Amino acid sequence: MQSRFRLTRSEDFKRVRRIGKSYAHPLVVLVAQASENPAHSVRVGVAAGKTAGTAVHRNRAKRLLREAIRPYLTSLASGWDLILIARPGLATATLADARSALLNLLRRAKILPADES
């Protein structure tokens, strides 16, 4: 993922987790919050807690999430900060499963237009 699309600062993660609205799916949790600067492109942070499994499973889950969102970064509504949190089943899921779950969440949050796929 290009650096302009990354949410990296700890303060930003805390702000999004504290103020943002969350949307849940069995594989992924999306936390979305409008950015402090609406002119910025969408920024995405990826996390996987210990409930997602061992370090190998957590890293695989994060790689899947990054790859699943990559094609949609340019078509997402700008001015949003997003956090994607992996759930335990994601480590064994396929890329198609991860992409489907992510599309579902982005549409529910009204960040991705309904006609995009």
Q: What is the pLDDT of residue 57?
A: 93
- Four-CA torsion 75, 108, 105, 26, nearest 10 degrees: -170
Half-sphere exposure of 35 (CA within 13 A, CB side): 20
Architecture category of domain 3-108 in CATH: 2-Layer Sandwich (3.30)
Which of 14-18, 33-37, 92-96, 111-115 bottoms out in mean pLDDT, i.e. has the lowest? 111-115
- The reported pTM is 0.88
Which H helix or E strand runs over 69? helix 55-69
Greater model confidence, 114 or 90: 90
Q: What is the pLDDT of residues 37-79, one digit of tens each?
A: 766 788 899 999 899 989 999 999 999 999 999 998 888 878 8
Render pLDDT for 3-40 as a digit per residue (tens, 0 to 9).
677 787 888 888 888 999 999 999 999 999 987 776 67
| Token reading at 76 | 């997402």
Distance CA(103)–CA(51), nearest Å, equals 23
Residue ranges of alpha helices (H) inside the chain are 10-19, 55-69, 95-108
DSSP letter for 70, please. G
Beta bridge pairs of residue 33: 81
